[in-house]
Structure 1
Amino acid sequence: MSHGITYIQINDSVGNTIGAVADAGGQFIVLPIGHEESVATPQEAATTSNVAAPAGASSVVYNDGSSTVTATPMTDGTTTLIVSMDSICTDPAACGSHSP
């Protein structure tokens, strides 16, 4: 975490970056790094191919107690990442450095 912003980077099994987001108290921004993958946040829907469909089950690839990222393999060979909020801390004293 840097200045109240949490950076979440998702890599594949060999270490290549699939996608990344920045989280500032529940406001997510998709970062321009990684493969040409699809990333959805609570603020922005994923851009998807008109021909791609899920090719398998979604898997949780990141969870820090406040944010979860799931990855879904697609039929066109890409992976769709979906970022969701588990909870937003409304009491900064109880949540340490997390704040709404």
Structure 2
Amino acid sequence: MFASNFVHWGIRANVIAPGVYPSEISAGVDNLDDKNSSRLPPKIPASEIPLERFGGEQDMASAILYLASSGGGYLNGCTIVTDGGRLGAFPSVA
């Protein structure tokens, strides 16, 4: 809805849906008590990602730059999944 409402002003709305990206937030997951840890998703081993590695800053930056470039100029209302192929291999995780 947002994407179609604002396109007349030259505003495109797209989303990047990241997969597993190690971060300062995810690094602290092991330090949570049982009460808080139940709200978090289970840890995912790299072997469950078809590219067999976790995402990094460069992977996220490349997706953002693509959307901001002329190459992504015709995209509007899209979700770009940057998960190393995990969603395609395990569609039930969505």
TM-score (norm 2): 0.22
**Higher RCO, Cα 8 Å, sep 6+:** 2
- Compare CA radii of gyration and give the structure with the larger one: 2
Structure with a larger share of its residues in strand: 1
TM-score (norm 1): 0.21
